[in-house]
């Protein structure tokens, strides 16, 4: 049970990091356009 839970948390964490990276990338591109 704990193992599954940890796997889940890891997946969520990776997902959050991925979303954060996408957001930063988008901001950077918008800055370059100015």
Determine the pLDDT at residue 1: 61
Determine the pLDDT at residue 3: 80
> pTM here?
0.67
Sign of CA dihedral 13, 18, 21, 26: negative
Determine the pLDDT at residue 10: 97
Determine the pLDDT at residue 11: 97
Determine the pLDDT at residue 22: 99
Q: How far apart are CA 22 and CA 25, in angstroms?
A: 5
| Tens-place pLDDT, residues 1-34 | 678 799 999 999 999 999 999 999 999 999 998 7
Q: Which of 30, 4, 26, 32 is nearest to 18 (CA)?
A: 26
């Amino acid at each position: 049970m704990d193992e599954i839970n940890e796997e889940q948390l890891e997946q969520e964490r990776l997902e959050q990091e991925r979303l954060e990276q996408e957001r930063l990338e988008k901001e950077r591109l918008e800055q370059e356009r100015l």
